[in-house]
Chains A and B, each alone.
Chain A
Amino acid sequence: METISNVIGFLPALIKATPLTLLLTAVAGAFGLVIGTLVALARLSGHRALSVPASVFTFAFRGTPLLVQIYLVYYGLGQILPGTWVRHSFLWPYLRDGLWYAIFALSLNQASYNAEVIRGAIKAVPRGQIEAAKSIGMRASMILRRITLPLAFRSCLPVLTGDLIILLKTTSLASTITILEVMGTARMLQRQSLQIFEPLIAAGIIYFTVVFILTRIMGVVETRLTRYRTARA
């Protein structure tokens, strides 16, 4: 009984930390999608100068643990930056905050996973669609914008939303570089209250709820964007 009331007692502090978790997810998700699309296009471009770096990028980020990437960015940039012009620029006060390093590492990691998904989806766009666009005289950039990308995104949407939910969970690793999102707050509460389980259980309840709600929202978004498949005249 006491455990339950303890768990409930930790909830308000953790709910206050939830917006930061959501912010990390949204920002890294958005950057990850944009960078991931560019990387996918670079890989499919046919120019070796673009496709080779893009494949090295996806292999390196998908082949190493995110935690290693976070440490490499956080401590690694912390080793380099103080010796450069950045130290004396207006950026420095911001760069002392771990948040930017976490967003940087999470975005690149997400981009590498998104790139593979989007690359597959672009390759799966039916040739006929592109040939039809060419035959009516569309330029390459217009074909990409109006035909290839919309079709590709719709077909890989379920995978992308699944990856977004995985991202939400992995933002918890940002707690290792002093960021007080839900997980970081839970670990702080652990140290303050000297209770091992209760703060973690409370954090578990928050994550479960947020994932549940996000899954539902994504379900609605998916049916909206793929209405052409279900709608009947």
Chain B
Amino acid sequence: MDYYWHLLAFGGDGWGDDFAWGLLMTLQVSVLAYALSVVFGFLGAAGKLSRHRILRLAAELYTTVVRSLPELLVILLLYFSVASGAERLLKRLGLVAETFQFSSFWAAIIALAFVSGAFMTEVLRSAFLSVPPGQVEAAVSIGMRRSKIFTRIILPQMMRHAVPGMGNLWLSITKESAIISVLGSFSELLYTGYRAAAGTKQYIFFYGLTAILFLGITLVSVLAIARIERHLNRGHH
């Protein structure tokens, strides 16, 4: 038993601090990717609901393709192409120096967000459609501007319907963030677990620990989502 406590020590020979940083990294990656996926989701939903055929087609293509490919595949493809593509574009535009390198951290975040964004698109689209048209018509009839209609009428009402789906996507993005351990350049939880397990041959202990930490994230998230849902549903029964 003492041996296991020793493995968890903070500092040179223990893995405690590595796991603490790993947990922080996983949370950081998840939060950033989630925020960006909401942006992708709003763009996608706006595209799908747009009056322009081309935008509709582009959004349709985005969700269909991303949702029928494995996450690992999309993440690998984007991880390699986003970094080099963005680098070339920024250099051609003369915005950065020749020695500039696109951060692989952001490439991974963008890749994760792009995948979740496709699912977010569907959640936001159906939430938007669940707002009764009469509400918008009433707002128009009293002369509200379009931007105000969106922030005051549509957004508050659609979020109530979007929260369960968005909560599920948060839970799945925290878990999907483990996939970037395959890239081998981020010390998030699973990669930390991988290094610790390979270094000490204590596979069950360290992968078990990794699993428990992920479970902790899920547990806290589930409780938080339930609170948010209650808050947004106040006044409804």
Contact status A79-B203, CB under 8 Å: yes
- Inter-chain contacts of B179 with A (CB < 8 A): 65, 67, 173
A92 on interface, CB distance cutoff 8 Å: no
Interface string of A185-207 (1 = CB under 8 A from B): 01000000000110011011001
- A sample of 13 cross-chain residue pairs with beta-carbon separation below 8 angstroms, ordered by A number, consists of A64-B211, A66-B175, A68-B178, A71-B190, A71-B197, A75-B197, A76-B204, A172-B72, A196-B80, A197-B80, A200-B73, A201-B77, A208-B65
B186 on interface, CB distance cutoff 8 Å: no
How far apart are the CA atoms of A231 and B71 in the complex, in Å? 39
A65 and B176 in contact (CB under 8 A), knowing A72-B204, A78-B203, A197-B80?
yes
- Inter-chain contacts of B132 with A (CB < 8 A): none
- If over half of B's interface residues share one DSSP class (helix, strand or loop), that class is named, otherwise mixed; here it is helix
Please tell me which one of the listed residues A62, A78, A173, A212 contacts residue B72 in the complex, with CB atoms under 8 A apart. Answer: A173
- Inter-chain contacts of B203 with A (CB < 8 A): 71-72, 75-76, 78-79
A220 on interface, CB distance cutoff 8 Å: no
Sample of 7 further A-B pairs with CB below 8 A, known A63-B214, A204-B77 = A64-B211, A71-B197, A183-B72, A197-B81, A200-B76, A208-B68, A212-B68
- Inter-chain contacts of B190 with A (CB < 8 A): 65, 67-68, 71
How far apart are the CA atoms of A111 and B71 in the complex, in Å? 20
A63-102 CB contacts (< 8 Å) to partner B: 63-69, 71-72, 75-76, 78-80
A200 and B77 in contact (CB under 8 A), knowing A207-B68, A212-B68?
yes
Contact status B215-A60, CB under 8 Å: yes
B201 on interface, CB distance cutoff 8 Å: yes
Interface string of B201-213 (1 = CB under 8 A from A): 1111001101100
A206-223 CB contacts (< 8 Å) to partner B: 207-208, 211-212
- Inter-chain contacts of A165 with B (CB < 8 A): 68
Nearest-neighbour CB distance to chain A for B169, whole angstroms, equals 14
- Inter-chain contacts of B219 with A (CB < 8 A): 63
How far apart are the CA atoms of A66 and B71 in the complex, in Å? 12
Number of interface residues of B (CB under 8 A): 34
How far apart are the CA atoms of A207 and B70 in the complex, in Å? 8
The 9 tightest CB contacts between A and B, nearest first, are A63-B218, A65-B178, A172-B70, A75-B203, A211-B68, A65-B175, A72-B207, A169-B70, A76-B204
How far apart are the CA atoms of A60 and B213 in the complex, in Å? 11
B194 on interface, CB distance cutoff 8 Å: yes
Interface string of B45-86 (1 = CB under 8 A from A): 000000000000000000001001111110011001100000
A176 on interface, CB distance cutoff 8 Å: yes
Which of A60, A67, A78, A80 has the largest count of B CB atoms less than 10 A from its CB? A67
B28 on interface, CB distance cutoff 8 Å: no
Nearest-neighbour CB distance to chain B for A35, whole angstroms, equals 19
A175 on interface, CB distance cutoff 8 Å: yes
- Inter-chain contacts of B211 with A (CB < 8 A): 60, 64, 68-69, 72
A170 on interface, CB distance cutoff 8 Å: yes
How far apart are the CA atoms of A169 and B71 in the complex, in Å? 8
Which of A68, A80, A183, A212 has the largest count of B CB atoms less than 10 A from its CB? A68
- Inter-chain contacts of A67 with B (CB < 8 A): 178-179, 181-182, 190
B193 on interface, CB distance cutoff 8 Å: yes
A204 and B204 in contact (CB under 8 A), knowing A68-B214, A75-B197?
no
A71 and B207 in contact (CB under 8 A), knowing A63-B214, A63-B219, A65-B214?
yes
- Inter-chain contacts of B81 with A (CB < 8 A): 197
Interface string of A144-156 (1 = CB under 8 A from B): 0000000000000
Contact status A68-B70, CB under 8 Å: no
How far apart are the CA atoms of A183 and B69 in the complex, in Å? 11
Nearest-neighbour CB distance to chain A for B195, whole angstroms, equals 12
- Inter-chain contacts of B208 with A (CB < 8 A): 72, 76
How far apart are the CA atoms of A67 and B203 in the complex, in Å? 14
- Inter-chain contacts of B70 with A (CB < 8 A): 169-173, 183, 207
Contact status A64-B77, CB under 8 Å: no
- In the complex, residue of chain B having the shortest beta-carbon distance to the beta carbon of A205: B69
